[in-house]
Amino acid sequence: MNPPNPTSLAESPPETPPRRRAIRLPTDRHAIVDNFFRFQSLFGLVAVFLIAIAVSPSRNGENVFLSSGNLANIVRAVSEIGIIAVGMTFVILIGGIDLSVGAVLGLAAVGSATLMVDSGLGIVPTVLIVLFIGTAFGATQGAIVARLGIQSFIVTLAGLQAARGIARMWSGGLGIPIAYGDGPQEAPETFSLLSGSINGVLPVPALLFLAIGVGALLVLRSTAFARHVYAIGGNEKAARLSGVPVRRVRITVFAISGLLAALAGIIHAGQLNQGSPNDGAGYELDAIAAVVIGGTSLAGGSGSMGGTIAGALLLGILNNILALNNIDANVQLVVKGLVIVAAAALQRLRPRIA
């Protein structure tokens, strides 16, 4: 074999270095649009907060909206809806809906008052029994949806009526006032802490909402259960073929919704010092609104718990600033409706733009 000619090697052109692929900077148009839709609830919350500051009335030179007492009232008022919305998020992520949560709240409020006042039970057994009732109610609805294949809208609409009926039979159709003390027909004084606050600043219900929201946020970010929830909402048939226990996950999701609705009912009874079978009327709609404003798709498979928390706070701020400006209650409903439609419209626009 002849050795290579040095002259020919020297005259050969150098190899062209491989071309580097262009790297998209995170500031390009698509990334900006995608991030906007991803954090639409947070941007909306900031925008509504700033608008509330700008249009808030003043009292003695102080911005009423920014006063510590008013901010505490906002987070206190939103805590019950927020807790229910956390459970609703799980349900909507699998493509379902739960219309019974408001009625379950009323049932839990009645149960809390009845068990402590009429039956003389302590706080711990009362809370455990009420939470069990809410969980069992939700799990039963989930089992009907999962095993009989009936749409969750129909099942939970029937559940709404059933929960209201049970609450009215349990209470005799009347509200049960909660008085505190050690005697008969009185609840333990400790239960009144649900209407209190930490250091006079952070309301106890808001603290519970924060704890539950953070816990649910961690669950959705880091557990196999969360992956199953998203998989079912994205494509139930594909999830089942992939080995996801669809029935079990569906039942669990509705059980979580019932559990959190019952917890909200206990808080409701503690804040109002009574349990009424009519408590929680319409709460299911506010909870769904918070989830939708938070960016969760009603078709399932897409959404976040952080968005739901932001959506609940947005609704609370909106209600508060409209009330501070003495806006007619009917106009308030119209404004809330427009906000919900706008949030839903953004969801529809996202796949077209992003």
| Segments of the chain scoring below 70 in pLDDT | 1-38, 347-354
The confidence score (pLDDT) of residue 173 equals 87
The confidence score (pLDDT) of residue 44 equals 85
In the chain, where do the E strands start and end?
58-59, 62-63, 176-177, 197-198, 202-203, 274-275
Q: What is the mean pLDDT of the chain?
A: 87
The confidence score (pLDDT) of residue 5 equals 54
Contact 294, 26 (CB under 8 A): no
Q: Which domains does the chain have, with CATH numbers?
A: 78-348 (1.10.3470)
Count of beta carbons in the 10 Å neighbourhood of residue 225: 15
The confidence score (pLDDT) of residue 61 equals 85
pLDDT digits (tens, 9 = 90+) for 61-73: 899 999 989 999 9
For the entire predicted model, the pTM comes to 0.87
The alpha carbons of the chain give a radius of gyration, in whole angstroms, of 26
The confidence score (pLDDT) of residue 204 equals 94
The confidence score (pLDDT) of residue 36 equals 63
Residues whose CB falls within 8 Å of the CB of residue 298, separated by 6 or more in sequence, listed in order:
92, 97, 292, 344
